[in-house]
Amino acid sequence: AQTVTQSQPEMSVQEAETVTLSCTYDTSESDYYLFWYKQPPSRQMILVIRQEAYKQQNATENRFSVNFQKAAKSFSLKISDSQLGDAAMYFCACRNAGNMLTFGGGTRLMVKP
């Protein structure tokens, strides 16, 4: 079994500033993947960034980067130069070798103009 925990139900950031969303996970598997998904009001699930557990280097996608701390089982998402369009629900997820995807409870990000 695996669990994913997002301790921040809501976060707020000023436009153009940087914000970090927290995520911790627990899994008994050695081979797994971690993801951050964005869900805007339209409720589409949009993949933001992914990290393979065997890679030590933190993944980066433009303004989005992660801080992957494998020993601590922590996988935080940093959004730089926040934009109004970044406002959404963000879900952290862990996928095991069997392809089962487990989501955290989500963090609602608000961006203030």
Partner 1 sequence: GAVVSQHPSWVICKSGTSVKIECRSLDFQATTMFWYRQFPKQSLMLMATSNEGSKATYEQGVEKDKFLINHASLTLSTLTVTSAHPEDSSFYICSAREKDRGQQPQHFGDGTRLSIL
Binding site for partner 1 (CB under 8 A): 33, 35, 42-45, 47, 50, 91, 95, 99-106
Q: Closer to partner 1 at the Cβ: 62 or 71? A: 62
Report the candidate in 63, 98, 77 with the shortest Cα–Cα distance to residue 25: 77
Q: Closer to partner 1 at the Cβ: 52 or 81? A: 52
Return the DSSP state at 30.
S
Q: Closer to partner 1 at the Cβ: 30 or 113? A: 30
Task: Supply the minimum distance, in Å, between the C-beta of residue 105 and partner 1.
Answer: 5
| Rounded Cα–Cα distance for residues 34 and 27 (Å) | 11
Task: Supply the minimum distance, in Å, between the C-beta of residue 17 and partner 1.
Answer: 25
Per DSSP, the three-state class of 85 is helix
The answer to whether 108 and 89 are in contact (CB under 8 A) is yes
